């Protein structure tokens, strides 16, 4: 029964089972799309948000992080709540870190039926073969 519980806690590494994306999407794409919809330039957004144009440009390109202060400024100008900007930023950073870690980690081949004592199917098959005269 413990084995079934362990299987339930460790899903297979398939695209359908993973709750995270395979690509880190910078949160700056959202303000870029919003600016396009509102027909507003980055310079106009920077002026209204009282932020440097370079900072807005770097956020849109995904080079600069969206801080809490910037999220509040974007909320005031664009109407998108600050918590949405912060969530987009944190999701981006987490996904980027996960992908970087995955790329740095060497992939280990799966082991099957090595005769361990953890109750694997290979153990049962090996025990069944031994019992046959």
CA 63 – CA 60 distance, rounded (Å): 8
For position 101, what pLDDT does the model report?
87
For residues 31-69, one letter each, b for 16 or more C-beta atoms within 10 angstroms of the residue's C-beta and e for the rest, the string is bbebbeeeebebeebbeebebeeebbbebbebebebeee
Q: How many other C-beta atoms lie within 10 A of the C-beta of residue 26?
A: 20
Look up residue 5 and give its two tokens. 């519980």
CA dihedral sign of residues 80, 45, 49, 93: positive
Contacts of 96 by beta carbon, 8 Å cutoff, 6+ apart:
24
Give the CATH superfamily of 29-104. lambda repressor-like DNA-binding domains (1.10.260.40)
Residues of the chain with confidence (pLDDT) below 50? 1, 4-11
For position 10, what pLDDT does the model report?
47
For position 123, what pLDDT does the model report?
60
DSSP single-letter state for residue 128: H
User: Residue 21 to residues 18, 80, 91: CA-CA distances in angstroms?
Assistant: 8, 23, 10
CA 35 – CA 21 distance, rounded (Å): 25
Domain boundaries, the chain: 29-104
Could you report the per-residue pLDDT of 15-41, keeping only the tens digit for each? Answer: 555 576 777 888 888 888 888 888 999
CA 13 – CA 85 distance, rounded (Å): 29
């Amino acid at each position: 029964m413990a084995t079934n519980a362990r299987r339930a806690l460790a899903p297979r590494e398939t695209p359908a089972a993973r709750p995270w994306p395979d690509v880190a999407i910078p949160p700056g794409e959202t303000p870029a799309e919003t600016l396009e919809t509102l027909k507003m330039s980055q310079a106009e957004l920077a002026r209204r948000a009282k932020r440097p144009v370079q900072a807005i440009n770097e956020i849109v390109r995904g080079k600069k992080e969206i801080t809490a202060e910037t999220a509040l400024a974007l909320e005031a100008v664009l109407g998108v709540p600050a918590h949405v900007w912060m969530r987009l930023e944190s999701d981006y950073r987490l996904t980027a870190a996960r992908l970087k870690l995955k790329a740095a980690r060497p992939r280990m081949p799966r082991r099957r039926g090595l005769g361990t004592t953890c109750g694997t199917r290979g153990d049962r098959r090996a025990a069944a073969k031994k019992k046959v005269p």
